[in-house]
Amino acid sequence: MTRLNKFLSECGVASRRKSDELIEQGRVTVNGKTIIEFGFQVNESEDDVKVDGERIHHRNKVYFILNKPKGTVTTTDDEKGRRTVVDLIKTNEKIFPVGRLDYNTTGLLLLTNDGEFANHLMHPRNKITREYQVKLDKDLGREDKIKLERGIILERRRSRFTSIQFTDTKNFRSVTVTTVEGRNHFVKRMFHALGYFVKELNRNSYGPFKLKELPVGSYVKLDEKEISKVYDKKK
């Protein structure tokens, strides 16, 4: 027997948190009965589980790294008809992005149908490191660099970059930052808090996954060995 939210997550419907929302909204049925209990247990091989009337099955888990280009929306569909990151990947599976990158932010984006994998990467307690290449509108001052590394108050919370490195010792507008924060617009808002505007933002890595030489707009499929690195506490 498996908890209903875990079953939905493993089937690629959504993360556990989002699955709980679906359950709370009365959109999930088991054997024709609407279930609103978060702890409800299902028999994976026997029970008929549906979301919005659509039968849910276990699916083959797939994982992709996309080098997101500018002008794409990090979502599964867009009401304005703009191109989404899902449109760039050819697969028969119903996939979704792990977290998000802004419309004009580029770089590494993971997409999958594995809700547990996505939840593990995004959950704050796991402190998964992200690395970004940042271009600022002006030179980053030494004192401001120290403040951002030691921590500032952002949204009433002490927030910091794990590290800031200058990409070029003669160019103080181009920096590489690492952080374990996954809050929306975190990098941009951190610099903005000290009077800097982020002109360009590119994510180089997310946990053990790196862009390497992957061309913009291209993607690669990950294998189980690569995915297992996410759960290796030694990494």
Q: What amino acid positions are annotated as catalytic residues?
A: 102
Q: Is 142 helix (H, G, I), strand (E, B) or coil?
A: helix
* All residues at 6 or more sequence positions from 3 whose CB lies less than 8 Å from its CB, including other chains: 38, 39, 40, 41, 42
Tokens 């079953």 appear where?
7
- For helices 16-24 and 115-122, the axis angle rounded to 10 degrees is 110
Q: What angle do CA 92, 95, 100 make, to 5 degrees?
A: 150
Residue type, 204: N
Q: Would you tell me how many other CB atoms lie within 10 Å of the CB of residue 124?
A: 10
The closest of 107, 65, 75, 76 to 230, measured between CA atoms, is 65
Q: Would you tell me how many other CB atoms lie within 10 Å of the CB of residue 123?
A: 14
CA distance 100 to 96: 10
